[in-house]
Amino acid sequence: MTGSQKEGGGLSGVPTAGVSAVVLNVTVTDPTASSSYLTLYPTDASSRPTASNLNFVGGQTVPNRVMVKLSGAGQVTIFNAAGNVHVVVDVAGWFTDGNINTTGAQFTGLSPARILDTRTGAGGIVGPVCGNQTIIVPVAGQGGVPALPTTQGAVMNVTATDTTAGSFLTVYPSDALRPTASDLNWVAGLTVPNLVVIKVSAADGKIAIYNAQGCVDVVADVVGWYG
């Protein structure tokens, strides 16, 4: 994309009405400019904000978790500052505007607590996660997150480090099929973090983390929960 483009509501499980904001994982790939950035904002905003949501240099693939208010028509605008870039948007959740009845969960913040570190064995998993491998990580009842059935989801900072190849991680409920979305992307040798908002399995309170290729150590610090 070049310049600004609009994305609409009513997609990927987001209702067409009663929604004030969405949680998105936004990924840029194949950028042509030496450096650029994306800004996301409500389409009906009076002006484009000066803030950036993703910053990148030529050739990088970079994801970031974005919480953005929707316009009255349920749209957001995505602005690219320079060059051309492909943009991938995955919906992770939404916030009600208070005008509809909903059984959605409420957020409770926590002081960051480490619930997974494959370098040290925290979380019960020792050693890097290698290509096409999925690990199962307990979340409910860990790091200040209440046990089931109180907890429905969690917010965590997930970090990939000691990476041996370009790859990506996908984080999802342990009892669900693996989605095609990625939560972290990197090239070999980088350490890359991203904020992840994730539903936990209603059966056991766990999540799954999948690595596509190469080997990587994974660290997860929980910063809040929904319930």
What pLDDT is attached to residue 221? 96
Question: Distance between CA 64 and CA 194 in Å, rounded?
Answer: 6
Mean pLDDT of 103-115: 88
Judged by average pLDDT, the poorest of 115-119, 136-140, 193-197 is: 193-197
The pLDDT score that the predictor gives to residue 5 is 59
Query: In sequence order, what DSSP letters do the residues of 166-211 get, joined into one string?
Result: SEEEEEEETTSPPPS--SEEE-TT--EEEEEEEEPPTTTSEEEEEE
Main-chain phi, psi angles of 28, to 5 degrees = -105, 145
Alpha-carbon distance 207 to 218, whole Å? Answer: 13
Residues 22, 68: Cα–Cα separation, whole Å = 6
pLDDT tens digit sequence for 41-67: 999 999 998 888 999 999 999 999 998
pLDDT for residue 6: 58
Euclidean distance between CA atoms 112 and 106, whole angstroms = 18
Spell out the SS3 assignment of 69-137.
ECCCCCEEEEEECCCCCEEEEEEEEEEECCCCCCCCCCEEEEEEEEEEECCCCECCCCCCEECCEEEEE
Q: Model's pTM, two decimal places?
A: 0.84
Share of the chain above pLDDT 90, in %: 75
For residue 164, the one-letter residue type is T
Q: What is the pLDDT of residues 157-166, one digit of tens each?
A: 999 999 999 9
pLDDT of 103: 67
Contacts of residues 47-52 at CB distance under 8 Å and 24 or more positions apart, as own/partner, are 48/4, 48/77, 48/79, 52/81
Residue 171's pLDDT band (cuts 50, 70, 90): very high
- Reported as a pLDDT band with limits 50, 70 and 90, residue 116 is very high
- Distance (Å, rounded) from C-alpha 112 to C-alpha 201? 21
Q: Which domains does the chain show, CATH number per domain?
A: 3-96 (2.60.120), 107-226 (2.60.120)
Which pLDDT score, from 0 to 100, does residue 113 have? 95
pLDDT at site 119 = 97
What average pLDDT does this structure show over 122-138? 97
Better-scored residue on pLDDT, 48 or 2 = 48
Report the chain's mean pLDDT, rounded to a whole number: 91
- pLDDT for 143 equals 97
Residue 18 pLDDT: 81
